[in-house]
Amino acid sequence: MSAATQQAVDAFEDIAPLIGSRVHLKKADLLSGEYGAALRDLLARRGVLVFPRIDFTDDEQVAFTRTIGEFMPELAGQTVYNISLDIAKNPNRDYLKGSLFWHIDGTMNQRPIGAAVLTSKVLPTWGGNTEFCNTYASYDALPAERKRDIDGLRVVHAMWASQLYHTPEPTQVQLEDWFRMGDTELPLVWKHQSGRKSLILGNTAQYIVGKSARESAMLLHSLREWATQPQFVYSHAWTRGDAVMWDNTGTMHRAMPYDPDCGRLLHRTKTAGAEAFA
């Protein structure tokens, strides 16, 4: 084990048995890139890493994200994306209302998102925790018979399906706008190159190919309920300056309700996934 790996091991503590670790490395250590490999390994095993009050600037957050993997720009080439319901901070805030429900980022992408980093800039007046669930651990815990039943199933994901969670009676114009995002067919069980498997669920999951709407809903919602049991979930209560990184290939996440007019603001960066959905 390298000195950097050993120091990284010594600097983290598990938050819960199946998900989450706190990392107590200094900012300079994180920005050096020396601990990138150790942090990638830890992230793959734990799903979520918390860097308490690390207080990254935007440039520092971008630099740190580059130590984790191939940097993936945000919309319109932005390096940092504002997660906020304040229209002055994010003109596309309405899409973020879907983040209040369990989801995986980038299910509409041709290339999956690998890891993502959020840094807290403005705290909510109430609520606003971010919750994560481990979809590797929840798959592993399924009974063998259930695993056999879902192996090979395909699910159609659509961005507009996620918007119906918060706007169940959209206008024609809204629907047409959502439909432009298209849809995609993904496996229900992601068979990773590592040999591990995880569940691909969330609010963009519309229906299972070859099953009725009722059968699809029963299976997708029951699996989401299974995957979000307390033993698979970590809820992060934000302190200003906290950074949280998660493995987007093996977790779902959601924001808990908060005052939409409070100015809550987080900055997100992300890396490209190293493998396709398969």
In a domain, 5, yes or no: no
pLDDT tens readout for residues 90-126:
888 888 899 999 999 999 998 899 999 999 999 999 9
27-49 confidence digits (pLDDT tens):
999 999 999 999 999 999 999 99
Q: What does the chain look like in DSSP terms, one character per residue?
A: --HHHHHHHHTEEESSSSS-EEE---HHHHHHSTTHHHHHHHHHHHSEEEETT----HHHHHHHHHHHS-B---GGG-SSEEE-S-TTT-TTHHHHGGGGS-B-TTTT-SS-EEEEEEEEEE--SSB--EEEEEHHHHHHTS-HHHHHHHTT-EEEEEHHHHHTTT-SS--HHHHHHHHTT-EEEEESEEE-TTS-EEE--STTEEEETTS-HHHHHHHHHHHHHHHTSGGGEEEE---TT-EEEEETTSEEEEEPPB-TTS--EEEEEEEE-SS---
277 belongs to a structural domain:
no
Q: In this structure, is residue 229 part of a structural domain?
A: yes
pLDDT digits (tens, 9 = 90+) for 46-86: 999 999 999 999 999 999 999 999 999 987 789 999 999 98
Domain presence at residue 4: no
- Domain assignment of residue 51, yes or no: yes
pLDDT attached to residue 22: 98
pLDDT of residue 9: 64
Q: What is the mean pLDDT of residues 3-27?
A: 87
Residue 278 lies in a domain: no
186 versus 78: which is more confidently predicted? Answer: 186
User: Domain for residue 6, yes or no?
Assistant: no
Domains contained in the chain, number: 1
CA distance readout (Å), 155 to 68, 97, 169, 210: 30, 23, 24, 9
CATH number at residue 124: 3.60.130.10
Domain that holds residue 258: 12-271
pLDDT confidence of residue 127: 96
Instruction: Please report whether residue 3 resides in a domain.
Output: no
Inform me whether the pLDDT recorded for 3 exceeds 80.
Answer: no
Average pLDDT, the chain: 95
